Amino acid sequence: MKTAALNGTKLLICSALLALPTSLWARASEGPAAESAPVILIQNATILTASHGTIERGSILIKDGKIAEVGASVKAPKDAQVIDASGQFVMPGIIDCHSHIAIDGSVNEGSISVSSIVNIADVLNPDDVDIYRDLAGGVTVANVLHGSANAIGGQTIVIKLRWGQPASKLPFEGALPGIKFALGENPKRSNLRARAVRYPTTRMGVEETIRGAFAEARDYKASWDLYNKRTAAGEKNLIPPRRDLRLDPLVEVLEGKRYVHSHCYREDEILMLVRVAKEFGFKVRTFQHVLEGYKVADEIAASGAGASTFSDWWAYKVEAYEAIPYNAALMTRRGVLVSVNSDDAEEATHLNQEAAKSIKFGGLSHEEALKLVTLNPAIQLGIDKRVGSIDAGKDADLVIYNRDPLSDYAVVQKTLIDGRVYFDRQRDIADRPAREKEKKTLLDKEKKSEKKPESGEAAKKPGEKKSEEKKPEEKPKPPQPTVALGGAL
């Protein structure tokens, strides 16, 4: 066994190795970047507002984290920090409607089919390096979801990517919470081997799992409504219904206080959940992935649900074979509110390009494509009054690109959240030599520590062999029962 000190050194080195190539941990300790002046003017930029067209050689005045003014003739106050964006483009911060970053531990509680008791908000990890990497790709807001191992999964949360802030500062203030549903192969788990059978194992079982849970939630809500009514009427000594943490989030869904975001692929399962939602009087906020959404776009639009899809991911399993790159555009043309999401930390670093693909595949306009990763996901998450477009009064969540953001050659120069610069490409590049030097120092320290004799062992003479202890013969173990595990799906 190594000493505690050596273990601590290795832990430090491993942490540093994960982060140092992207010049990050200094930023985490310093908090927001130096350009966090209370008043900032971005000037001479091509401004893509996502709500009222493009402003050439425009300016954005930021005060107290909000957009105070935007237009072609905005003047800088005396105390303003000026960012000259000549030849550059400014767009609203990218909003990822389906993300799994910043989670400590597994994304799934897969042991049961209805895991509505668990909450992603309880396991936010502010030190996840993917927060910084996604900032470098222009992402400012993410809808962080539970996994898809369950018909009704865990509670979800919307966060701002405030790198360097504690976990308590990540949640998007006032954003309505959500809950993850999943349909199809992932929750029915019939394609998984060496695991104990867990209901459901069919698509009809997934439907009845959801229906059964909401039947319970409806009765549970009725019992609380009656109790509250009798209490308000002045009745004394009433015994309240027993609290059920599994049903509380589902009651919030019935009351419109929690959004449903449902993983899905096939048209039949999409229509199934539309029917079940109508039966119990709630709405699906977004169908996630929704690769066959183009087949039932009219029904999705009529239900009032949104669709958050991939641009061109398919064929990675049988139920994704009938996806097409025209999906986002076709649903948009049929009246569905559509966004493009990542479901992957690396994919999130170029969501601007993912949005641009629907210009080629489906003929969306430049502004329609831009909305796929800005205003549309903001509406889907109920946060469009604060983010999603460049309008006076909204949060100053902005991204500055060196080229048109929908170009393959566009590179993020700065990313701002609440009027504070959280990513600056020039400073990131300038800091890399120092970070590489620190990385080398830590690696050398690790090598030096490994050469020292282990704790509790006497120094050995050259050529001396370590005595080997004879291990007792192990008896064969009896067969162990298979355990149901909830892996990431």
Structure-token pair, residue 168: 């308590």
- Cα–Cα–Cα angle for 168, 175, 370, rounded to 5 degrees: 110
Q: How far is CA 165 from the centre of its chain?
A: 17
Nearest one of 382, 385, 312, 389 to 350, comparing CA atoms: 312
Segments of 74-213 assigned E as strands: 81-84, 89-92, 94-99, 139-144, 152-160, 178-182
Residues 144, 158: Cα–Cα separation, whole Å? 6
One pLDDT digit (tens) per residue for the chain, 489 residues: 334 444 444 444 444 444 444 444 444 434 454 444 579 999 999 999 999 999 999 999 999 999 999 999 898 888 899 999 999 999 999 999 999 999 999 999 999 999 999 999 999 999 999 999 999 999 999 999 999 999 999 999 999 999 999 999 999 999 999 999 999 999 998 777 656 688 999 999 999 999 999 999 999 999 999 999 999 999 999 999 999 999 999 999 999 999 999 999 999 999 999 999 999 999 999 999 999 999 999 999 999 999 999 999 999 999 999 999 999 999 999 999 999 999 999 999 999 999 999 999 999 999 999 999 999 999 999 999 999 999 999 999 999 999 999 999 999 999 999 999 999 999 999 999 999 999 999 999 999 888 766 555 555 555 555 555 455 555 445 444 333 333 344
- pTM of the full predicted structure? 0.86
Residues 476, 448: Cα–Cα separation, whole Å? 41
Strand order in the sheet with 94-99: 94-99, 139-144, 152-160, 178-182, 259-264, 286-289, 306-309, 338-340
Cα dihedral 246, 251, 254, 257 sign: negative
- Please enumerate, as own/partner, the contacts of 50-54 that have beta carbons within 8 Å and a separation of 24 or more: 50/91, 50/92, 50/367, 50/370, 50/371, 50/374, 50/375, 50/388, 50/389, 50/390, 51/375, 51/388, 51/389, 51/390, 51/391, 52/389, 52/391, 53/367
CA atoms within 13 A on the CB side of 369: 22
How far apart, in Å, are the Cα atoms of 346 and each of 96, 125, 137, 169, 431? 12, 17, 9, 23, 22
pLDDT at position 450:
87
Surface-to-core class of residue 180, CB atoms within 10 Å of its CB (0-12 exposed, 13-18 middle, 19+ buried): buried
Surface-to-core class of residue 246, CB atoms within 10 Å of its CB (0-12 exposed, 13-18 middle, 19+ buried): middle
pLDDT at position 38:
78
Kindly report, residue by residue over 282-317, the tens digit of the pLDDT: 999 999 999 999 999 999 999 999 999 999 999 999
Residues 222, 251: Cα–Cα separation, whole Å? 10
- Cα–Cα–Cα angle for 132, 136, 142, rounded to 5 degrees: 65
